[in-house]
Structure formats: structure tokens, C-alpha cells
Amino acid sequence: MAIAICAPVIGAFAVLVLLRMSAFEVLAWAAGGYLLWTLNEYWMHRVVLHFEPERGLGAHLHWMFHGAHHDHPNNPGFVVAPPMVSIPLAALFEGLFYLVLGGPAWLGFFAGFMAGYLIYDVTHYRLHQRRPRTRLGRLLREQHMRHHFQDGSRGFGVTAPYWGSRLRHRAHEPTRAARRSGVSERGRARSRSPPHRRPVSKP
């Protein structure tokens, strides 16, 4: 689904910007957009998706958008964001880039940003639904499974884990996601799951 939606958009924006700028300029702006995506991936995951209200509408929305994925990590229906969420967010970023950058530059920047999102979406899905054969794939899967099953307070960069080593800070207490996965304050896995949730088997 993500490929069917994002690939034509990326291609259309790439063609439009190539008609207005040199290939070198397009690559530079696209690289900037991709770099911003990797930062957005890390911070969106860490700050927004792991902001966990205890009750009410906030708790319900959190479970819908991310909590369900942590509770059922192997369910393909909870791995990627549905179009009703991803499309409005993409439109929001598109408008922001247009206002900030202007000219043809925003076209290349947005194309690179969307390419980053597509790479993230496909990679995230495959990490959960396939067993990678490459060394890089195995490394990404290992660090992402640690986020799910050992320490939910780390490993927020799915396709860009290098941001975690630079931006991560040690929290004084584990998040509820970490407690869900059975991790103590020192990151040591407990042998039991929380009593109010069903244990999730490791893939």
C-alpha cells in the first residue's frame, strides 16, 4: 500500500523539480529532505508515539496509533500507519516545506522526505514480517526487536539507529512501553509479563 501511494508521488515531484533545477541541486535538496526524515522518524517515535497518557481519550488514541503495535508486534495490521493517517501528515509536511523553502527547492526536499518515509515503512514492515538475509537487515531487526521485547525506552530510530546513540538520554524511570516488555530500570528483562496484558511471543 505504501509503495502504491508514495512511489508515484515521489516520481511526480522528482520530474517536476528536474524541470526547474539541475540534477546536482535536486540531489542536494532530496538528501536534505531524507536527512530531515530520519530525524523526524526518531523524534516522532520517541516523543509523540511514546507519549502515553494514563487514561481517557489520550490513552485510547495512543493505543490506536502505537500501543496496539507494541501489544501485537507481529500483527501486520498494526505495523504501518493507515492512509487515513499518513496522507494528512504528508500533506501537512508538504505545506510546511512549501512555506519555508518556496521556489522549486521544496519539491526536491519533499521528494527526499517522502523517499525516507517509504524506506522506513517498507523496512519496518519487513523487520516484523520477514527474517532479513543481509547483515544490515539483521542488525536493524535485532535493534528493533530489542526495542519491542527488552527495552521500550530505547531504539526509536528504526532505519536510522545512529541518531539514538547521539540523541538518547537515560530516563530515570522506564516508560510504560518498557514496563510492558518486562524491563527494569536498568534494562534487565524480567521473566514475567504484566498481569493485565497477554504475553507476546518473540518472533
Residue 201 within any structural domain of the chain: no
Domain interval for residue 89: 2-180
- Kindly report the pTM of this predicted structure: 0.77
Residue 190 within any structural domain of the chain: no
The 3-class SS string of 129-144 reads HCCCCCHHHHHHHHHH
C-alpha cell belonging to residue 23: 540534477
Residue 153: band (very low, low, confident or very high) from pLDDT cuts 50, 70, 90? confident
Residue 169: band (very low, low, confident or very high) from pLDDT cuts 50, 70, 90? very low
Residue 98 within any structural domain of the chain: yes
Cell 481517557 belongs to 56
The domain total for the chain is 1
Q: What H or E segment, with its residue span, contains residue 92?
A: helix 83-101
Residue 12 within any structural domain of the chain: yes
Residue 195 within any structural domain of the chain: no
* Interatomic CA distance for residues 65 and 49, integer angstroms: 7
What pLDDT sits at residue 75? 86
What is the tens place of the pLDDT at every residue in 129-139? Answer: 988 889 999 99
Q: Which amino acid is at 181?
A: S
C-alpha cell belonging to residue 18: 528536474
Q: Which amino acid is at 201?
A: S
